[in-house]
Structures are given as structure tokens and as C-alpha cells.
Amino acid sequence: MFWPTARSSIPAIKTWLLSSRKMATPNIPRQRDSMSNDNLSTAAQAFIEQHGALSAPDGAPWLIDLRDKGLSAFSDQGLPTQKLEDWKYTSLQPLDQIGFTVCNGKSSLTQDDLPRLTSAETEVHHLVFHNGHYCADLSNIGDLPTGVRVINLADNLTELEPHVAKVGSYENTPVLALNTAYIEDGYAVLIDGVELTVPIEILYISEADDGPAAYHPRNIIVTANNSRVTILERHIGIGDGICLANHAVEVSVASGSRVKHFRSFEESAGSFNLSAVKAEVGRDAAYESFVMSLGGKLGRSEIDVALNEPGAETKLNGVYLADHDQHVDHTTNITHNAPHTTSQETYKGALDGKSRAVFQGAILVAEGADKADGRMSNKTLLLSDDTEIDSKPQLEIYADDVKCAHGSTAGELDEEALFYLRSRGLPENQARALLVVGFLSEVVEDFDDSDLADLFKEKITRWLKPPGKTEN
């Protein structure tokens, strides 16, 4: 395993840092509800009507057919509402007030406009997308070893046909159905038995100077046996325009392979970001995810991982920071389909202003998945009396001899710890920031790569200067 074995129960947050508040955390299995096509929302109707504006892909009738199937599924379901159990705490009604149009492929960006997730000195393979469209002149893939392909979807449709819409089902997943209906571009990473030591950095830039715009990238990560790869995604907004970015990532991790997938969401203040990761993990393989949510009006990250063979592992970690009236939702589902599979999940967040966060984490151990080990934890700091966290960890177990545990805690900064730091000469703002950084850094420090850990800790620190104010 690539992380320490969890103990049989998740410990409480250290009392010097956090004073607890009571929270409702019902242990009820989440249901996958279907939706009626009656009374489609204004936004859903607009997406259906605009579908004809998509350009037809050359020489790829399979994609036209797939888009049509996605549109049919979306027309039957519409956008998810809070009547669905998985969307009980997150409303997409604000989309009805915004007239989104389909993004075109034009870009006036230059190299000087491009922030980097890694430092300029760090060697990476670098791909850039603007409003969902690949920018070849801004990308620098560099020399790749034999057996590694890092490409975009739109220019490689024939090669990528076997890999698109193969992981996860869109028929009963409204947002994924919408993504499928609008597939145009995205990145693809194909690793054939190679241990790639240089990270792959993906930069998605959202910009809406000509009015609210929407785009729906489909991304692919596929490994053959015994492969290694690290993928860094950064999603940022430029300017004050409103964008809807609806991302989907399909991940297939073959036997003996390791995929590390790090994502940072830093959208502009009025924008919306929906992302869905669907991952399948094979024998003695591992999928490791880290998500950092920093900006945007509303963000939802959904991750579904299926551990399909013995020895499969997953590690899902995340940090979320929200202020003002931001809404951030992290929803995860881990399914242990085979014996001797392992999952570990740790999310931590800090909320200020009138922000709201949602954490829904489900672990399902299927019949026959004996000796499965699943651990889950979500802990949140509430920095204002007007913040709110809805946390719902769940276990559903149909096998014998398993080790599973979940925990959820929300609370305020400990006043005694704050007083102690102030008595040592620190101003209150600095003392509060120091405690918040210390609380959140535990998740980041778990990285194997210390340079990458430092970069994400720097993002946390920047968000807290001044405390409670987002900084993109």
C-alpha cells in the first residue's frame, strides 16, 4: 500500500485546534434516483435547444451517435434537482437565471497569460485548454518516452474512440449525460507499461468576455499494466465573466499501475464548475486523487471509484475553502467489488462569510468483497456564525470480515489556542491564519512529493491573506 494502514476508528480533531459542534450525519445508504422529464428547467431546455450549434466532427460518426444518445438521456432527465438524494443539499436553480451559450474555439491568450500549477523551473508536460478547446500554440508536451501518449480529443477521435464513454454510465447521471451530449474536446493520457517520472500538467482556462458561456470537456486517463503517472489539473477563471465548466474524467487503472490525479479549482467569483470522475481500478493497482476547491460561485466535485479486483486501492483527499456566498459540494462513492481492497478518504475545509459546503461520502462493500478496508473522514472549520456544512458519510456493507469506519466533525477555532498565539505577540488575523493553515496542511503533507505539497500549502496561505478573502 502507498499509505499507512488506518486505525480501526477515525480520531477526533485535536482539541487545541477545534471546538466541536453537533452535526447530523445519517448512516443511510444513498439511492441512485432517476428523474422525470416533466417540467424541464429553463437552463435544461436551453441546453437542449442549443445542441444543434455544435460543429459536426469530421470522420467520426461514432461521436455524433454518442452525442445524440447523451442528448436523449439528458432530455429524459433534465438537470438534477434537490428531489434527488445525491443533490439534496445543492441546487442548480441559479443556472436558470443565466443564459449560457456554447463556447467557440477562439482564443487570444498568450504565454504571458498562463499561470502555472507548478513552478516555472519544474519539468512538466504542459497542455492548455481555453473554454474547453485545446490550444496547441500554448502547450508544450515535450519529448515523451515510447508507450506514452498525451493528446487532445478533438484531433485524435479515431484513436480515442475505444476509450470514450467506457467508464461510468450517463444514462442515469444527468450532468454526465449533458457532458456526453456536448463532447468536443479534452485531454487524453495513455500509458502503456511505462513509469512516467515527469508530471503531466493540464491547464483549463475559463473566460467569458462575450457573455455567459458553457463548455463540457471529456478527459481520458488509461493505463496498461504496470504503469505510473502523475497528472496535475488546474482550472482557473480569467476576468469577471460567468462560465459553466462541466468536466468529466474517465480513469482506467490496469493491474499493477498507479495513477496520481491532483486537481485545483480556482474559478472566477460568479462561475460554476461541475466535475465528475469515474474510475475503475484493477488488481494490485491504485488511483490517488486530491482536490482543492478555492473559487467560483458554485462548485461540485463528484468522484466514483470502483475497486474491481483483489489488491485494488484508492485514496481520495481534498481541501475546500469558501467565503462570501460560495457553495462547494464534494460527493464521493467508493465501491469495493472484490476482496482485499482498500480505500482511504480524508477531506478538510474552512468556511467563512455566508458560505456553505456539502460533503457526501459513501463506501459500499459488495457481497463477496471480504477483507475490504474502507476509511472516511471529513472535518470542517467554521470561521463565521453564518456558515453551514452538510456532512453525510455513509457505509453500506454486504460482506463479512471487513474493516470500515467513517467520521465527521465541524467546529470553530479553539479560543484557548487563539489566545495562546496572541499572547506570544501574533496579531489576531495572523494567529487565525496560522491555525487554519495548520489544520488543513495535514491533508497536503500526505503527498509523496514535497515540492507539490509546498505549492498547495502556498495556495492555502494566499487564500487566507487577508483571512477570509479568496485570492485567485
Per-residue pLDDT tens digits for 155-193: 999 999 999 999 988 998 999 999 999 999 999 999 999
Checking if the pLDDT of 417 tops 60, the result is: yes
CA 141 to chain centre: 23
pLDDT for the residue numbered 11: 30
Other beta carbons within 10 Å of 115: 11
Report pLDDT for 284: 99
pLDDT in tens, 248-266: 999 999 999 999 999 999 9
- Helix (H) or strand (E) run with residue 305 in it: strand 298-307
% of the chain at pLDDT higher than 70: 88
Q: Report pLDDT digits (tens) over 203-227.
A: 999 988 888 999 999 999 999 999 9
pLDDT band at 461 (very low <50, low <70, confident <90, very high): confident
Taking 80 as the threshold, does the pLDDT of residue 106 lie above it?
no
The predicted pLDDT at position 6 comes to 32
The tens digit of pLDDT for each residue in 308-339 reads 999 999 999 999 999 999 999 999 999 999 99
pLDDT per position as a tens digit, 116-158 = 555 555 567 889 999 999 999 999 898 899 999 999 999 999 9
Q: Which residues, 6+ apart, have CB-to-CB distance to 316 below 8 Å?
A: 289, 303, 305, 332, 334, 343, 344, 345, 346, 347
Return the pLDDT at 463: 81
Condensed to tens digits (0 to 9), the pLDDT of residues 32-78 reads: 444 444 579 999 999 999 998 898 898 899 999 999 999 999 999 99
- Distance between CA atoms of residues 170 and 261, nearest Å: 22
Give me the chain's average pLDDT, please.
87
What pLDDT does residue 336 have?
A: 99
**Cell numbers linked to 284:** 494490485
Does residue 472 contact residue 266 with C-beta atoms inside 8 Å? yes
pLDDT for 380 equals: 97
Fill in the amino acid letter for 143. D
pLDDT at 452 > cutoff 90: no
- pLDDT of 445 reads 80
Query: What is the CB neighbour count within 10 angstroms for residue 192?
Result: 16
Cell of 176: 454526465
Question: Mean of the pLDDT values across residues 17-30?
Answer: 38
The residues, ordered by sequence, that sit 6+ positions from 204 with a Cβ below 8 Å of its Cβ are 129, 132, 217, 233, 234, 235, 236, 245, 247
More confident residue, 119 or 200: 200
pLDDT one-digit tens code per residue, 280-316: 999 999 999 999 999 899 999 999 999 999 999 999 9
pLDDT of residue 38: 55
